[in-house]
Structure 1
Amino acid sequence: MTNTSNNNSTRFGLDAERFLSDFHHTTIYGATDKNGIDRQAGSDEHGAVRDWIEEQAVARGFNVVTDEIGNIFALKEWVPGAPFVLVGSHLDSQPLGGRFDGTYGVIAALHAASAVDQAVTDELIAPQTNIAVVDWFNEEGSRFPPSIMGSSVFVGLFDLEKTLQTTDPDGVTVEEALTHTKRRGTAIDLPVAGYAEIHIEQGRRLERAGIPIGVVDRSWYTQKLLVTVTGEQSHTGATLMSDRRDALVAASHVVIMVEELVDDFEPETIVTSVGKFDVEPNSPIVVPRQVDLVVDIRADDKADVLRARTLLLERMDRLATRRSVTIDAEDFDIRPVQRFPEDAVALGEKAAIDEGEESRVMATLAGHDSVALNRVTPSVMLFVPSVDGVSHCEREFTSDEDLVTGLRVLTNLVSRMISGELAEVEPGGSLTE
């Protein structure tokens, strides 16, 4: 719902056509046959689009630097010695992923920051801080788990040296991938005054409500488990069914158990999945000896996640006995609920109102770089609608109209942030939770 009579975005001089052209240009890097992208972190395609974004930033007068974990910052300094408001997202994707996830936020950030820079030049805004457009390394975590890697190192959640030695399935380290794409940077000192990110919702709440802007007030609690099912390798033709200890059959039961966990909770209060599944030896004439899988449990309420975890462990124990296998589970990548500061949420709402757009305050079920940044600096997370709510696939889609609406609201938000409107606000989380 739009109220154009209250729209004052023209003062920022945004060029919607150029923005859309730039955004759609990024799809050539890692393009897939069905209009998606495959641009995993540290790949050649990822390196190419990052080189392109640096060229665009330099052409607009930004100073571009890369830190030790491969995060790229395009800096514009108006107030010497003042901290920076960061605005951005990520350019890497899932395998056969969508072209909007992350990339939209980086391109929108560059255009918003450029428009605000012009407003500063024209003395329409008196900045209290500087600005930096950021492309975080490996938000997706598909090639190098876990996800939200670059921003987590930046805020001190992950150890740099340990993270650099993380390997992909082929044994390539993060450090080697960064070196290959010429993004193994150096330590930088970047005082931060706030963070803003715009992203597609990756769900259907905004689309169902007909509302163009979401303002995130919290993240869901996330619990992942590394599960290993161990049986015994044997011949598929010569081993009688009663003598088999088939790890794959048992693991298949685990997958169903994970999905059926949600039946023990109120509808739409919890989500569960198994997204990674590796079979050994993966031979057509061998009964599998081992299966490794990753279980993902998320809910708004931490207690629901812990209860689901307990139920799953109990059921897997009974399954192991019944199928004569062993099942081991290790906690992995636990992320507590993060609440965004009330004043930061209110600022996102004000930016939407100022642009004549309706907004809705909502939780994010997915993790984002903003959740990590929110631990150390007041952060604002905006959403735009996703058609059919699909994401992490080639069918992912958001209309040009919604992309431009989000850009206008983001630009308004950034102008408020660099003017000091969140100067006294404390971050929403801590590094010790």
Structure 2
Amino acid sequence: MSAETFLADFHHVATIGATPASGVDRQAATAEDKQTRDWFAGFAADHGWEVRVDGIGNMFALLEWTPGAPYVLIGSHLDSQPLGGRFDGAYGVIAGLHAAERVDLRVAEALQAGADAPRHNLAVVNWFNEEGGRFAPSIMGSSVFAGLMDESRMLAVKDLAGTTVAEALEAIGYLGTDARPEVAGYAEIHIEQGRILEREGLALGAVDYSWYTQKLDIEVLGEQSHTGATAMADRHDALVAASKVVLLVHDVTGKFEEEALVSSVGQLTLEPNSPIVVARRVHLVADLRSASPEIVRQARASLLEDIAAIAREHDIRINVNDFDIRDIQYYPEDGLELTEKVAANLGLGIRRIRTMAGHDSVAMNRIVPTVMMFIPSVDGVSHCEREFTTDADMVAGLDALSGVAWEMVNGALIGAESAEHDAGVLASGPAVSGAVAAGAGAR
């Protein structure tokens, strides 16, 4: 129940998959991920809570006070990026477990005093493969739960070594078959992964909307040849062309106002990846994000035109496919007001804030009233070992999550869900749209 116990648990979990530079490497369904999952299950068992694992590897710790009532779900994810930070995701799960412990004690005290049982039950979740570092796309577990991704297709997704999601989960003992809990609402707390709260000296952010996201799956197809024996004029080097594509993705942001668009290529693989062979194939993923869907669409159109020119220049083929398109999501006004009320009661400074990154809450907000909260990130650094948030800020966030969870199990936000929630959430874009092929025929 104490802040000290929470911090001890947090710092213990940070030793699982720890890296020399104070980060963690716990990619989805690895041995290190299994260790954190075992810890989660052990925490729940020690408290007498039921544990379920569903068909995509999501874990749930269930607290039931009102038989048959749906659950308020709180939590985040325990998997990390390669050489990632120890706060991203894991903080939200561990805070969720400790918030549930606090709410459980408060419910017991209220029942003993003669109060009615809460309107809703409570569950803590550890979502599978939020990061997407090993298996793409990201936000997989919560998206399957929300019906946004097909479970069988996601189980068949392979990592770079050819291992499927199903095989990886089965290997660590977490390919479950349990029923998913009926959910009435969702709350998540996370590090900001930006500098706004730190700069303004605020303890808490209430997330009001998410940015529009568009990813491009790009395949550059050249011709394999000898690096020493092939004349330069006779080469169809996929890697040279791909390097120009990477620069295009970076430079496209300069066509818009500063900070209106962010873009990157974070993953690139090449074949045959030999030091004496000209690359025949390069696969990369481009990520475009903005608060304006129109800016993303303009950037995409610009990239397609320029990529086609590169394909013609190098006499190769470049295939571009849209995937993982996420429309802007607006979080319920009642949830923002609830978070602000809890923060005021705790004496915490708070502001409304948008999220540029994707989170499990973005998927859950499509199906139930959802609250998303941020705590400060030092220097705004994330997805690297230098990621850091102070103990004091983590404890303040735990207090806020505990307050929000208590209010939600007693009917706050959920009773007024619907018209306002449905109106605030934009419809999902297509998971995959058409392909664009440029340049010469495939070799």
Distance across 2 between alignment mates of 1:432 and 1:410: 28
Aligned residue runs from structure 1 range 14-413, under 5 A: 14-123=1-110, 127-413=118-404
Note the alpha carbon deviations across 1:345-399, whole angstroms, 9 max, x for none.
1111111111111111111101000000000000000001111111111111101
CA spacing shift, 1:316–1:48, aligned 2, 3 Å: same
Instruction: Please list the CA deviations of residues 231-271 of structure 1 after superposition, one character each: whole Å capped at 9, or x if unmatched.
Output: 22221112222222211111111111111111111111110
- Map Cα deviations across residues 285-309 of structure 1 (whole Å, 9 max, x no partner): 1111111100000001111110000
SS at match of 2:412: coil
Provide TM-score, normalisation by structure 2: 0.92
- The CA deviation string for residues 18-70 of structure 1, in whole angstroms up to 9 with x for no partner, is 00000000012111111111101111110111111111111122111111111
Instruction: Write the distance in 2 (CA, Å) between the matches of 1:315 and 1:360.
Output: 40
SS at match of 2:14: helix
Deviates more, 1:237-246 or 1:274-283: 237-246
Report SS of the residue matched to 2:383.
coil
- What is the letter of the counterpart of residue 223 of structure 1? Q
- The one of 424, 429, 432 aligned to 2:425: 429
Give 5+ residue unaligned stretches, structure 1: 1-13
Gap change, CA 1:431 and 1:150, over 3 Å in 2: farther
Unaligned regions of 5+ residues in structure 2, if any? 430-443
| Greater mean alpha carbon deviation, residues 221-230 or residues 422-431 | 422-431
Distance 1:432 1:243, change over 3 A: closer
SS of alignment partner, residue 125 of structure 2: strand
Q: Which amino acid aligns with 1:29?
A: I
On the 8 A contact 1:376/1:430 being kept in 2, the answer is: no
Equivalent residue, structure 1, for 2:440:
none
Q: Which amino acid aligns with 2:95?
A: A
Q: Distance in 1 between matches of 2:52 and 2:26?
A: 21
CA contact (8 A) 2:211 2:291 kept: yes
Q: Is the 8 A contact 2:330 2:426 kept in 1?
A: no
- SS of the residue corresponding to residue 162 of structure 1 reads helix
CA deviation after TM superposition for structure 1 residue 165, in Å:
1.3
% identical aligned pairs:
55
What's the CA shift for 1:429? 2.9
Cα RMSD of the aligned pairs, angstroms, is 1.3
Q: Distance in 2 between matches of 1:187 and 1:62?
A: 15
Query: What is the match of residue 4 of structure 1?
Result: none
Task: Report how many aligned residue pairs link the two structures.
Answer: 420
What SS is found at the alignment partner of 2:274? coil
Q: Secondary structure at the match of 2:80?
A: coil
Q: For 1:80, give the aligned amino acid.
A: P
Q: Return the TM-score normalized by structure 1.
A: 0.95
Give 3-state SS (helix, strand or coil) of 1:249's partner: helix
User: Is the Cα–Cα contact under 8 Å of residues 342 and 404 in structure 2 kept in the other structure?
Assistant: yes
The Cα of 1:432 is off from its aligned counterpart by 5.1
Contact 1:32 1:38 in 2 (8 A): yes
Structure-1 residue corresponding to 2:441: none
